[in-house]
């Protein structure tokens, strides 16, 4: 096994780690027809953590996860999953991992209970729920669906069934590709809580997502991926702290005189944030959100910045609208790293 490079700077969240990574990826590349979908990425996943690959659609997340699962052949690089080569040792590895694919289906006329029995029967190992499917389905909100045909389930129910099928045999490591796409917020939170419980029992979870909130709330560590590369890696708190501004002060500025805007219309959006904001105390960056004309100030000490902003507004006669303070998020991290928003 190649000596893995240390990538994060935090000690493992769960103690008793033997030093062997659950997953280690070195210089992984994969191209499709000349386009580099994955462009030389390196990372390690520690046993017992929830590791998230966060990025927009087309960032290379699915290609990466499918290389790890042994479903795709990488062009280059070294991958170890549970100490094994995902291609060479794939049958052995598939016994030990659980997989939820992004685009998949089951037979229309298979019942939920039959699907669980089938998938449980494909593995030698047994999950902690054995054959008591209700224990697996309850947290996913599917307990009353055991006799229903697959084709009669809603999109969200199918999605949750695929999560259940990934967990049915109690795998050591679970791969979840866009796990909560198509779920309503309530179901999404229930799935997160369930996965945390699975993680606390010792299962390692590797997931991809383009939901900033999912990465932030669920993941112990996150790799931010864009255009085939990993731009940053760390716990959500670390990544946000690395921005240098821990909170964002958001407001809209109404023009006070027609001269402030080109056309003189009061609903016109400003072209740039007013000068002088950068110079206020504890301000790291100032940005104008083009979509809705909101001005965002990233500040390391929001109370002091806020006080200064209000004094400035008083002095210059600004009308601050919708003024509020938010915690910076991974969305801001992505924006700072790529100059683009996560959700296009």
Partner 1 sequence: MRGFLYLTWVEMLLFLREWQAVFFSFVFLPMLLFLFGAIFRTHPGVELGGFQQGDLLLPIPLAIGIASNAIYTLSGPLAVYRERGILRRFQATPLRPYAVLLAQGVVVYAMTMLAALLLIGIAKFSFGLSAAVNPWAMWGAFTLGSTALLSLGFLLGSLFPTARVTYAVNSTLFFGMIFLSGTAIPWELLPPFMKGVAQFVPLTYVLDLLKHAWLGQGIWPLSQDLAVLSGITVGGTALAAALFRWD
Taking the C-alpha atoms of residue 101 and residue 286, their distance in angstroms, rounded to an integer, is 40
Query: Is residue 84 a contact point for partner 1 (CB under 8 A)?
Result: no
- Nearer to partner 1 by Cβ, of 74 and 236: the residue is 74
- Nearer to partner 1 by Cβ, of 113 and 270: the residue is 113
Query: Is residue 89 a contact point for partner 1 (CB under 8 A)?
Result: no
Choose which of 44, 49, 69, 246 interacts with partner 1 (CB under 8 A): 69
Phi, psi dihedral angles at 72 (to 5 degrees): -130, 150
Query: Is residue 73 a contact point for partner 1 (CB under 8 A)?
Result: no
CB 306 within 8 A of CB 249: yes
Could you tell me the smallest distance in angstroms from the CB atom of residue 273 to partner 1?
48
Query: Is residue 146 a contact point for partner 1 (CB under 8 A)?
Result: no
| 218-to-128, 246, 271 alpha-carbon distances in Å | 22, 19, 37
The two structure tokens encoding residue 232: 């940053």
Choose which of 75, 114, 213, 238 interacts with partner 1 (CB under 8 A): 114
H-state helical runs in the chain: 61-68, 90-96, 112-121, 133-137, 155-167, 185-200, 212-218, 236-242, 302-316, 330-338
C-alpha dihedral over 205, 206, 210, 213, to 10 degrees? 30
Could you tell me the smallest distance in angstroms from the CB atom of residue 107 to partner 1?
6
Query: Is residue 94 a contact point for partner 1 (CB under 8 A)?
Result: yes
Query: Is residue 91 a contact point for partner 1 (CB under 8 A)?
Result: yes
Q: Which residues pair with 299 in a beta bridge?
A: 247, 283
Query: Is residue 109 a contact point for partner 1 (CB under 8 A)?
Result: yes
Number of residues that bind partner 1 (CB under 8 A): 25
Residues lying near partner 1 in the complex (CB under 8 A) = 69-71, 91, 94-95, 97, 99, 101, 103-107, 109-110, 114, 117-119, 121-124, 165
């Amino acid at each position: 096994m190649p000596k893995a490079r240390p990538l994060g700077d935090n000690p493992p969240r769960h103690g008793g780690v033997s030093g062997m990574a659950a997953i280690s990826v070195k210089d992984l590349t994969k191209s499709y027809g000349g386009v580099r979908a994955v462009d030389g990425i390196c990372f390690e996943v520690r046993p017992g953590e929830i590791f998230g690959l966060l990025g927009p659609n087309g960032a290379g997340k699915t290609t990466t996860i499918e290389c790890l699962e042994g479903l795709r052949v990488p062009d280059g690089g070294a991958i170890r999953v549970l100490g094994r080569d995902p291609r060479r040792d794939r049958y052995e590895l598939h016994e030990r991992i659980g997989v939820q694919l992004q685009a998949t289906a089951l037979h229309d006329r298979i019942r939920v209970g039959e699907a669980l029995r089938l998938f449980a029967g494909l593995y030698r190992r047994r999950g902690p729920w054995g054959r008591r499917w209700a224990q697996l389905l309850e947290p996913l909100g599917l307990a009353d669906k055991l006799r229903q045909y697959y084709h009669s389930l809603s999109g969200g129910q199918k999605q949750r069934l695929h999560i259940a099928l990934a967990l049915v045999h109690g795998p050591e490591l679970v791969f979840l590709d866009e796990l909560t796409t198509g779920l309503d917020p309530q179901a999404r939170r229930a799935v997160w809580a369930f996965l945390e419980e699975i993680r606390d029992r010792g299962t390692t979870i590797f997931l991809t997502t383009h939901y900033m909130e999912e990465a932030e709330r669920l993941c112990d560590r996150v790799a931010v991926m864009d255009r085939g590369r990993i731009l940053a890696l760390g716990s959500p708190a670390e990544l946000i702290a690395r921005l240098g501004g821990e909170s964002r002060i958001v407001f809209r500025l109404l023009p006070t005189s027609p001269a402030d805007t080109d056309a003189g219309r009061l609903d016109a959006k400003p072209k740039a944030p007013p000068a002088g904001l950068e110079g206020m105390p504890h301000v790291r960056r100032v940005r104008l959100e083009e979509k809705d004309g909101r001005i965002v100030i990233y500040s390391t000490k929001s109370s002091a910045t806020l006080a200064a902003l209000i004094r400035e507004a008083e002095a210059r006669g600004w009308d601050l609208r919708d003024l509020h303070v938010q915690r910076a998020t991974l969305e801001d991290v992505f924006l700072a790293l790529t100059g683009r928003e996560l959700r296009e």
